[in-house]
Amino acid sequence: MTGLEIRIVERALQFKKPAGTSRGVLTEKPSFYVIARDLEEDGRIGIGECSLIPGLSPESELRARIELKKLAASGTLDPKAMSLQYPAVRFAAEMALIDLLNEGDRTLFPGPFTEGRLVPINGLIWMGEPAEMVAQAESLLERGFNTLKLKVGALDFEKELECLQAIRSMAPASEVTLRLDANGGLDDEDLSVTLGKLDRLATFDIHSMEQPIRPGQWKKMQKVCIGSPIPIALDEELIGVHDTDLRRNLLHIIKPHFIILKPSLIGGLVEANHWIDLAAEVEAGWWATSALESNIGLNAIAQWAADAIADDPHPMPQGLGTGNLFTNNLPSPLVVADGNLRMDTPKAQANGKLQTWDLSSILG
């Protein structure tokens, strides 16, 4: 889309409390907003978010800033013409474009997401000491979550097993699904060591294990998928794989049970759809998860996910419950209740489309 006035607003998101991740502890994260005003359509505004996770996002904060300045100077939004080497920047442009085409109605992004349409999500247990993680699990269960996700591979393995035992004691497999994410933390030169740990973890009736070994080891990951008693999901493995043939080869060689889609790390929603189509060739399932976006990015992914799972009678819980992490998030009509993400429709329609999001802090 051309004939646009595009500006970039930089806004560091401040965590309410330090967030332990596989890339260290974060107290804030860099984010940028792409604000595109259509000069030919009554000043219509579209907003996109460029969300970065330091140490994981392919583009650095500096590179993102440079590419976003180029985007603003171009006066056009054409995500397909943008490099997949900078996936968060590309997703921000795609998001702003969809928003413009929907005339700024963020309850239609890109499909109807009303109070009657729920997106099931998992409850995320942040990394920490075992007692703290168990307390988080208890809190999530009290809030109605029936799918929990936690990290493994970063602490002493025996302590992690004790943590899982404590969680399972209050969350039986008949009632609660457990997902694990190793971020490559179970990698060992001796494959039997990795598989041995997966065997022990499997005793807790685990739904899936994300990225047990470091990415880029296709043949080794293939052996893990064959030998693991826990279904394997690829996450970081997808980052930086842009070519269609390369994507297809990766999936056909590894044959994962699931793939995890982070639009900010793979280049947006069109690219996510492409991965889903390719994954279907090897009968791999999928779910989406955030890259710790603010409510602008979270809403965009949630709208897309709501559309993608609309016809599924038993939709996979998504990894999208991150809207309450930041002290300076943008107020929005997104609500998490009973393990589901939904749009608070009356609030979204209260005073017109744009006002419900209280965008004054970024629109200026």
The residues that are catalytic are 151, 262
Angle at 280 between CA 274 and CA 281, to 5 degrees: 100
Cβ atoms of 275 and 261 closer than 8 Å: yes
Helical H runs in 228-294?
Answer: 244-254, 263-266, 269-280
45-51 and 119-120 beta bridge pairing: unpaired
Cβ atoms of 263 and 239 closer than 8 Å: no
Cα 290 to Cα 282: distance, rounded to the nearest angstrom = 24
Cα 187 to Cα 164: distance, rounded to the nearest angstrom = 20
Cα 235 to Cα 259: distance, rounded to the nearest angstrom = 6
Cα 300 to Cα 56: distance, rounded to the nearest angstrom = 21
What count of residues does the chain have? 364
206-210 and 177-181 beta bridge pairing: parallel
Those residues whose C-beta lies under 8 Å from the C-beta of residue 152, and which sit 6 or more positions away, are: 160, 164, 180, 181, 182, 185, 186, 201
Cα 179 to Cα 7: distance, rounded to the nearest angstrom = 40
DSSP letter, residue 325: S
Cα 41 to Cα 104: distance, rounded to the nearest angstrom = 12
Cα 213 to Cα 189: distance, rounded to the nearest angstrom = 10
Q: Give the count of beta carbons closer than 10 Å to the beta carbon of residue 132.
A: 14
Cα 144 to Cα 136: distance, rounded to the nearest angstrom = 13
